[in-house]
Structure 1
Amino acid sequence: MIEKLFLSGADVFRLNFSHGSQEEKLDLLKTIRSIEEKYSHPIAVLGDLQGPKLRVGEFSDPKGVYLEKDQRFVLDLNDAKGDNHRVKLPHPEIIAASEVGHILLIDDGKMKLTVVEKGDGWLGCNVDVPGQIKDRKGVNTPDSVLEISPLTPKDRSDLNYMLKIGVDWVALSFVQRASDIVEINELIDENLPKGMPRPSVMAKIEKPSCFLGDELSDIVELCQGIMVARGDLGVECAPEDVPILQKTIIDTCRSKGKPVVVATQMLESMIESPTPTRAEASDVATAIYDGADAIMLSAESAAGMYPVEAVTMQQRIINKVENDSGYMKLQESKSTENEKGISKSTDVATDSITMAAKQVASSISAKALVCFTLGGSTVLRASKGRPTVPILAITPFAETARQLSLSWGVYAAVTETEDDNFDVILKSACRAALQKGLISSPDDLLVVTAGLPFGTPGASNVIRVVPGAGPACWDGVCRL
């Protein structure tokens, strides 16, 4: 099934550590790596940490209790099983952070409580939205910033396992503040096994606290990617706010050149139906028009009846939108706005080279913009600019190629290179472009950017326009 999903258009596979054993994840990763080897195409693996799950305790009645509208209900630290009047809330951090007037949401927002009284170790609440509350139902705290680590003991164990088996991305759930990203980066640095590649960190934005002050900007600055996790974000924020927040997150990522994924309920009806609703198709298209680098399927492909059809449909929508002239106009307008701040860049020279390469590629109708890279920074700059041609990322490192699979417009290839030998660099570019189907004739043009001496991170200082293969390069390439 994974091979079918890959052939249908999937570039990244998510391993959800909320479910299943660590050993099961290793089996999946091995399968993905074997498919990658079979097709000589980099495939990224994203390990998704569960994060802290905040839940109420248990009730005397296994069926739970029904909370009536406007009744008083207490959440406390008492170990006794709950009844119609109270239940244990085994999270003193929630009680400490909650104030009178704060909202608490139970069971993914099915019930809504307002704190009307606070004592030592307890919260007195009014039931605003009634419903049946059962054992260990989830609690969301949209008004409170909790003084808890984003990493539970389970997450720390899972993170160490991810580092051991070599995932390409680690997704951190329920990020509240920029310091959460600092914490996971420190853990990765401390626990990364010797010789293993360092995974990139993706922050899942699903808490309202991420939008306080400059918090979102700081979070994006500190991580390598962002996920718009609309599930819990849609619980803790009003439904009408989610589309606006989605655009805000995407725009922030675009301005900083960080890839952004839009997730949750993209094609939800395809869990049971072979076709999506028209609203779902529009939702997917809107995320693409907004400027997302990637869109993610969850239950549709993990547990649905039509996983291949869901991936195929999502790919069809992507292709349709990206071939719309209005789409590139939108992307170009955002790129132009971002390029106005190039003088404030931390690397003006590299940004200028990348922007110039984009303009040259457009002017001469090149088939691709080729970037030689070690860590991927030059490619991310090119992707940020949304060129009108594909970006071919060439790197000697498989982990870099995999991580770049998440970025907009990027075709990644792993190839051997030789320091300072520009002829070899050009030949590698032509061979990779041909293998990826980006060129079909020696007359097709490529715009190549690289840093010389090769091997210096972030040192792009060369632009070269070359035929689909120069005289010394095409020989042998067309026979591959």
Structure 2
Amino acid sequence: MRRSRRAKIVATVGPACCEPKMLRTLFEAGVDTFRLNFSHGAREDHAAVHAAIRALEAEIGRPVGILLDLQGPKIRIGTLRDGSLTIAAGETIRFVQEGADRDRDAIPLPHPEVFAAAAPGHDLLIDDGRLCLRVKTLFRDSLEAEVIVGGKLSNHKGVNLPGTILDLSPLTAKDRSDLEFGLRLGVDWVALSFVQRPGDLIEARGLIGERAGLVAKIEKPAALDRIDDIIALSDAVMVARGDLGVEIPHEDVPGRQKELVRACRLAVKPVIVATQMLDSMVSSPAPTRAEASDVATAIYDGADAVMLSAESAVGRYPRQAVEMMDRIIRSTERHKMYRSIVDALRPDEEQTPPHAVAAAAAGLASAIHAAAIVVYTSGGTTAARIARRRPDVPVLAVTPSSDTARRLCLLWGTHSVFSSDVNNYEEMVSRAVSTAVRERFAESLDHVVIVAGIPFAQAGTTNNIRVIAVP
């Protein structure tokens, strides 16, 4: 099943789409990778969804990606004595650690790391930024903060601290247990929430190894300060605009999104743009015009994938949301301005033989109007280098690794195919041509550009380009 677009679609699985029939419906509508959100749902439910996706994959004969999204540490206020509290701008409010003496209006904050890291002038954003307080004074087990924006506060609302770097691992005990569970299932990607520093990626990599790709979710301002190192240590990046949009000014989010997409393209790492892309479709069969424009902007920026969250997980119209996203992507990629914009954002090539070969293959394929670029890849790196160029020719990635084939379901413009190893040059050429024909990328008299490494089955040896006419 060949997609008629380059950018990929990630859809979150939830109560609205967890049954096998609906999962198949969403795949047919355009989903390339399914996201399992471990912030919600029981493990047995996630295991059932994983099994259903793998059964679907076997039935259709196409790789399907599965992304496990870890919950990460959640900073929340505790239980208020009266269940809720109204605070007004200009008031001074006291926050106390769990177990500390408190008066009736003191707000419990059972997170010692907050009291250890906060400083006067730091902001506390509560309930997705609806309430804003600024730290004034710190004590041993409490702090006082001035209310900047007031309102009603209720139990267990989330707290964001944009100016505070917390001495907190992004992997809680729950995350570690969920991670091991997901790796035993065989997920393809693991998304790490609330990354603050490069060391967070190193810690996660030590647990994951090579069993799955590692996605760094960018939702903390501290991560933006070390973004080049974070991208280098990850296998992919998610621009998680929900929490990021709470912790940095709203007006800064679009520019940061463009910076992140460009930085990932430069580093040859897939990048996903996520959160509220078609948010109104949670309850409406059609998006707003602004939402359609938002999705299109991510495509013009050159994002590898765009993601649906609540729209597919709990929305009333999951199929329509996927179909709409598919239509917006296809329309954007066909627009007369698309190619000039994407080409203008193309980064300079790295001065290495593998990058030069990938760039040459993409340029050659465009120059001769080839039907496809067929790339032999063991770990997916060669396909990623070609996709980095955003060629106007489809990329058909042939790999002997089912894991690689599934991970490539996140990579821009790449149609991955699992195939056994080739043993010699002529077999490579023959299989490339037959695969391009079988997958409906080429027909008789078309030209295909073949990219491979000699000797075969050795990562990092991309050094060969061949042009051949289909008999």
Are residues 1:169 and 2:171 paired?
no
Say whether 1:338 aligns with 2:348.
yes
Contact kept? 1:176, 1:210, Cα under 8 Å: yes
Higher relative contact order (CA 8 A, sep 6+): 2
- Equivalent pairs, count: 450
After superposition, residues 195-274 of structure 1 pair within 5 angstroms as 198-212=211-225, 215-274=226-285
Mapped to 1, the partners of 2:78 and 2:111 lie a distance apart of: 10
For residues 104 and 242 of structure 2, the distance between their equivalents in structure 1, rounded to whole angstroms, comes to 29
Q: Distance in 2 between matches of 1:118 and 1:424?
A: 71
TM-score (norm 1): 0.92
Whole-angstrom CA distance in 1 between matches of 2:435 and 2:418: 9
Give the counterpart letter for 1:427 in structure 2.
S
Specify which of 118, 131, 140 is matched with residue 138 of structure 2.
Answer: 118
CA distance in 2, matches of 1:155, 1:256: 28
1:455 is matched with: 457
Report the alpha carbon displacement of residue 82 of structure 1 after superposing the two structures with TM. Answer: 6.5
> In the aligned structure 1, how far is the partner of 2:233 from the partner of 2:304?
18
Residues 190-223 of structure 1, C-alpha deviations (whole Å, 9 max, x = no match) = xxxxxxx6100000000011122xx100000000
- Contact 1:72/1:85, CA 8 A, preserved across alignment: no
1:80 offset after TM fit, Å?
5.9
Unaligned runs of 5+ in 2: 1-21
Distance 1:81 1:157, change over 3 A: farther
Corresponding position: 1:11 with 2:28 = no
| Alpha-carbon distance between aligned partners in 1 of 2:142 and 2:233, rounded to the nearest angstrom | 36
Offset at residue 428 of structure 1 (A): 1.9
Within a 5 Å distance, the mapping from 1:2-401 to structure 2 comes to 2-62=23-83, 64-79=84-99, 85-189=105-209, 198-212=211-225, 215-335=226-346, 337-339=347-349, 342-343=350-351, 348-401=352-405
Which amino acid letter does the alignment assign opposite residue 153 of structure 1?
Answer: A
8 Å contact kept, 1:81–1:88: no
Q: Kindly provide the CA deviation profile for residues 407-435 of structure 1, in whole angstroms up to 9, marking residues without a partner as x.
A: 1000000012222x122212221222223
Question: Does the 8 A contact of 1:417 with 1:428 survive in 2?
Answer: no
What is the CA–CA distance in structure 2 between the aligned matches of 1:114 and 1:425, rounded to whole Å?
A: 64
What letter matches 1:464 in structure 2?
A: R
Structure 1 letter corresponding to 2:39: S
Aligned amino acid, residue 216 of structure 1 = I
Please give the TM-score of this superposition, normalised by the length of structure 2. 0.93
Map of 2:8 onto structure 1: none
Task: Give the conservation status (yes or no) of the 8 Å contact 2:218–2:224.
Answer: no
1:307-363 CA deviation, whole Å, 9 max, x = no partner? 11110010001001111232111221222x322xx22xxxx1111111111111011
Counterpart-to-counterpart distance in 2, 1:359 and 1:325: 20
Contact 1:59/1:81 (CA < 8 Å) preserved in 2?
no
SS at structure 1 position matched to 2:269: coil
Task: Report if aligned partners of 1:373, 1:379 keep a CA contact under 8 Å in 2.
Answer: yes
Aligned position for 2:432:
429
Q: Over aligned residues, Cα RMSD in angstroms?
A: 1.3
CA contact (8 A) 2:81 2:104 kept: no
Residue pair 2:96, 2:102 contacting (<8 A) in 1 also: no
Contact 1:59–1:83 (CA under 8 A) maintained in structure 2: no
Indicate yes or no: 2:408 matched with 1:404.
yes
- State whether residues 65 and 84 of structure 1, in contact with CA within 8 Å, keep that contact through their aligned partners in structure 2: no
Instruction: Verify the 8 A CA contact 2:100 2:141 in the aligned structure 1.
Output: no
CA distances 1:87-111 after superposition (whole Å, capped 9, x unpaired): 2211111111111111001111111
What do residues 47-98 of structure 1 show as CA deviations (whole Å, max 9, x unaligned)?
0000001011111112x11112211101121426976631221111111111
Q: Which residue of 1 aligns with 2:421?
A: 417
Aligned partner letter, 2:35: R
* 1:57 and 1:82 in contact (8 A); partners too: no
Closer/same/farther in 2, CA of residues 83 and 291 from structure 1, 3 Å limit: farther
SS in 2 for 1:146: coil
Are 1:465 and 2:467 matched, yes or no?
yes
> SS of the residue aligned with 1:325?
coil
SS across alignment from 1:258: coil
